[in-house]
Every structure is written in C-alpha cells, then in structure tokens.
Amino acid sequence: MQQNGSGTVNGKTDIENMIEKYSVGFEQSARDASASTVDKHTRGDHVVVVTGSTGGLGSYLLASLLQREDVSAVYAFNRPSRDAASSIQRRQKSSFEDRGLDATLLRSEKLVYVETDTSRDHLGLDRELYQEVCVISSLTG
C-alpha cells in the first residue's frame, strides 16, 4: 500500500495501480474475443447471463451489455432479496444510482431479472428456464 505525505494510506492510488498491473494486455484480448464472437453470430444474436449484477463490477457490466446492439437479451442472475420490500429491481436501480449509471437502461426489454439459489439443484430455477439457459450456454460455447 502506498502512503501519502501525511503517512496515511491512499486507497485510490492502490486501486489504480492494481488495475494497471492486472489489466496489461486485457484490452487487446477483449477486442480479439469480441471480434471472433461477433464474427460467429449475427448482430443482435447474443444472449448473456450475468451473475451478481447488483454488485459493483456486475452493475457496470450490465449497463454495458444493455447498450450493445449485438446483445438481444441479458439474464441478470442474483440472490433472492432478503426482505419483501427490496425487490431485485429495486436493488438493481439502487446499485446503478449509487454508481452514477443510467438507471433508464434498466427499462430495456432485453433485461430479464432472475433470482437464483446456488445451493439448490438447477440454481433454483424452474425447469423451463433452466433448460433455456442451458441451450443458450451450449450455443455460445
């Protein structure tokens, strides 16, 4: 950890240094992967499953996917809400607002909220949805 002149830890600098260190070559790899994926599919043909979309990284990923023209659907898999007053939609909106993301993206017809339970068979999904997700997964593999 780096300390500033007063001897306190500068978290922002540490985070920026970690991002720089671990993202070397990432942009080119992401471009290569994206180009090869787009070449295999027609535009608007991508269906994506995102887990943890109410978290920090998940929120940014969800916002990005919802804006892409080559993505036709995004399944946002998240843990069930702990209380009835806090729906997955409210949690997602709050997460976007906390991070300064455009919450109007959450109105997209592409977005499908799914509450999952990783401790249960088939993630706690009903049979039809589970089979649909499995088919999507095998098509993109």
| Same domain? 54 vs 117 | yes
| Same domain? 99 vs 55 | yes
DSSP annotation string for 41-108: S-TT-EEEEEE-TTSHHHHHHHHHHHH-TTEEEEEEEEPPPSSTTS-HHHHHHHHHHHTT--GGGGG-
Q: How confident is the model at residue 103 (pLDDT cuts 50, 70, 90)?
A: very high
φ/ψ of 112, rounded to 5, equals -125, 115
Q: What pTM does this model have?
A: 0.62
Does residue 122 register a pLDDT over 50?
Answer: yes
Query: Residue 25 region, left (φ>0) first, then alpha (ψ -120 to 50), else beta?
Result: left
Predicted pLDDT of residue 131: 75
Closest C-alpha to 55, from 101, 24, 17: 101
| Same domain? 46 vs 36 | no
- Judge whether 103 and 94 are in contact, CB under 8 Å: no
Residue type, 73: A
| Same domain? 16 vs 28 | yes
The enclosing domain of 124 has a CATH number of 3.40.50
Q: How many structural domains compose the chain?
A: 2
Predicted pLDDT of residue 115: 85
Q: pLDDT tens for residues 123-136?
A: 788 888 777 777 55
Q: Which domain holds residue 107?
A: 42-140
| Same domain? 118 vs 79 | yes
3-class SS of residue 116:
coil
Residues in the chain: 141
| Same domain? 85 vs 119 | yes
How many CB atoms neighbour CB 66 within 10 A? 21
Mean pLDDT of the chain: 78
Predicted pLDDT of residue 54: 92
Q: What percentage of residues in the chain have a pLDDT greater than 90?
A: 34
